Amino acid sequence: MADRTIHEAFRYRRGDAVRIYNLHVVAGGVELWRITETADRPTETVKETDLSGADAAARFLEEVERTLTAGGWRRESR
């Protein structure tokens, strides 16, 4: 991801699965993308949502992290 408009927000692990959440800066806001990597399946990339600004992005990312933690995912450093 050499593009400077893409920023990793965080990554979580559960078992052998890793979920990476990236913010992609676009005209008018940012897109949130989720990448899921597992040993036994192809990498999956999904656009989660469009966000209009920093406040909306912060609230949405906080909710994503709460949901992941509740589902047994653990935050991982890069």
pTM: 0.85
**What are the residues whose beta carbons fall under 8 Å from the beta carbon of 76, sequence distance 6 or more?**
11, 12, 13, 18
Asked whether the predicted pLDDT for residue 1 surpasses 50, the reply is: no
How confident is the model at residue 12, as a pLDDT? 98
Asked whether the predicted pLDDT for residue 3 surpasses 80, the reply is: no
Report pLDDT digits (tens) over 40-69. 999 999 999 999 877 888 899 999 999 999
Give the integer Cα–Cα distance in Å for 76 and 58: 19
Report pLDDT digits (tens) over 15-29. 999 999 999 988 888
CA distances 61 to 27, 64, 74, Å, are 20, 5, 15
Q: Where are the domains of the chain?
A: 6-72
Give the integer Cα–Cα distance in Å for 38 and 55: 32
